Amino acid sequence: MCGIVGLFLKKDDKDNRLGAMLAEMLAVMSDRGPDSAGFAVYGAGDTARHKLTLRGPEGADWTALARGLEEKDLGPVDVVVRDTHAVLTVPAASVAAIRAALPALAPDVAVVGEGERMELYKEVGLPAEISARFGLADMRGTHGIGHTRMATESAVTTNGAHPFTTGLDQCLVHNGSLSNHNLLRRKLKREGIAIETENDSEVAAAYLTWRMREGDNLGEALEHALIDLDGFFTFVVGTESGFGVVRDPIACKPAVMAETEDYVAFASEYRALVGLPDIEKAHIFEPEPARVYFWERQ
């Protein structure tokens, strides 16, 4: 049960305010989700170098970790630290080895997400505080999605916060409540998909990962989700090149979108869109139930 926001800029702009806009949208959704918040931002990227977003304990020595990886010839490793998270930019070819080496090198560190462009941050606390801690307002990028959480049946923890990553440069945020997630979790675990929490939304993310592993593209995976996931959901899914929206066939959970020549924005409530530029001229509409929507960079 939550608030969701998403923002996709259609044009390159010198004065890129993606992070600032997303931070404002996220803060407005605090009432819907006071327990935790998170966001993914798609910034500059490079196919040869991946960004690994890691989360560590307070005071984690990220420089030492980077040096440790370089000593194993897994570098070069660039580090940007933001509060409890650090983004390590590493050679794409080394990612698998780095993931394998991490538990021994830094047992308290968890991988939050991986992408050529995606950085992913989430923590427990009020949305506005979390945006400030991670410096969201200063981030630049083409698109981003965010989430504020009111925990329903799973714990208020950082692991239970959204977005959940579903694969390289892919993540998902959810508003609603799935009614068959325990059955699906067992099935997906048997299929070898890693699931860490008891959270229903993580199961949705894992389901998409599994469908795509089996050969679906993201659109097909979302179509299958409409058949296999039971309950109430509005999903916003981020990818390297854009974002998608899908609502269950009953569509009880709210969703409103605004589109102008410059951007497409999604929010659980119109209030979150109020501060966007030229919002009064935007085309404002609600995504239809059981229909997969997608916006992509040209």
Partner 1 sequence: MPNVDLSTTPLRDLNAALHALAADTNETHWVVENPAGRHAIAVGVDVPVQIEINGHVGYYCAGMNDAASIVVNGNAGVGLAENMMSGMVHVKGDASQAAGATGHGGLLVIDGNASARCGISMKGINIVVKGSIGHMSAFMAQAGALVVLGDAGDALGDSIYEARLYVRGTVKSLGADCIEKPLREEHVEELKSLLAAAGVEDVAPDEFRRYGSARKLYNFHVDNVDAY
Partner 2 sequence: MSKTDHVPHTVPRKSATFDDYTMSEIRRAAATGIYDIRGGGTKKKVPHFDDIQFLGASMSRYPLEGYREKCDTSVVLGARFAKKPIELKIPVTIAGMSFGSLSAQAKEALGRGASAMGTSTTTGDGGMTAEERGHSKTLVYQYLPSRYGMNLADLRKADAIEIVIGQGAKPGGGGMLLGQKISPRVAQMRTLPEGIDQRSACRHPDWTGPDDLEIKIEELRELTDWEKPIYVKVGAARPYYDTALAVKSGADVVVLDGMQGGTAATQEVFIENVGLPILAAIRPAVQALQDLGMHRKVQLIVSGGVRNGADVAKCLALGADAVSIGTAALIAIGDNDPALEAEYAKLGTTAGAYDDWHEGLDPAGITTQKPELASRLDPIKAGRRLANYLAVLTLECQTIARACGKSHVHNLEPEDLVALTVEAAAMAQVPLAGTSWIPGKNGY
Which of 6-18 are b and which e, b meaning 16 or more Cβ less than 10 Å from the residue's Cβ? bbbbbeeeeeebb
40/253 Cα distance (integer angstroms): 22
State the Cα–Cα distance between residues 149 and 147, nearest whole angstrom. Answer: 6
DSSP 187-206: HHHHTT----SS-HHHHHHH
* Segment interacting with partner 1, rule: CB under 8 A, options 113-121, 154-162, 215-223, 270-278: 270-278
Structure tokens at 205: 């993310």
Based on the shown chain and the rule CB under 8 A, indicate whether residue 254 belongs to the binding site for partner 1.
yes
Among the listed residues 16, 157, 158, 177, the single contact to partner 2 using CB under 8 A: 177
* Least distance between partner 1 and beta carbon 245 (Å): 14
Distance CA(253)–CA(235), nearest Å, equals 10
Q: Could you tell which of partner 2, partner 1, none binds residue 129, using a CB distance below 5 to 8 A set by kind?
A: none
Interaction partner, residue 2 (partner 2, partner 1, none; CB < 5-8 Å by kind): partner 2
**Residue 232 found at the interface with partner 2 (CB under 8 A):** yes
Check binding of 274 to partner 1 (CB under 8 A).
Answer: yes
Alpha-carbon dihedral of residues 239, 30, 124, 203, nearest 10 degrees? -40
Binding mask of the shown chain, residues 121 to 160, with x at each position contacting partner 2 by CB under 8 A: -----------------------------x-xx-------
Task: Work out whether 1 is an interface residue with partner 2 (CB under 8 A).
Answer: yes
DSSP state of 98: H
Residue 254 sits in the site that holds partner 2 (CB under 8 A): yes
Of 46, 214, 278, 286, the one binding partner 1 (CB under 8 A) is 286
Q: Which of 2, 120, 178, 237 is catalytic?
A: 2
Cα dihedral sign for 23, 27, 30, 31?
negative
Give CA separation, 220 vs 183, 225, 246, in Å. 21, 9, 12
The answer to whether 126 and 37 have CB atoms below 8 angstroms apart is yes
Please choose, out of 104-112, 126-134, 174-182, 238-246, the segment that lies near partner 2 by the rule CB under 8 A.
174-182
Q: Does 181 sit near partner 2 (CB under 8 A)?
A: no
By CB under 8 A, residue 167 contacts partner 2: no
| Residue 288 dihedral angles phi and psi, to the nearest 5° | -75, 155
79 binds, among partner 2, partner 1, none (CB under 5 to 8 A by kind): none
2 is catalytic: yes
Residues engaged in binding partner 2 (CB under 8 A):
1-3, 31-34, 150, 152-153, 175-177, 232, 252-254, 268
Catalytic residues: 2
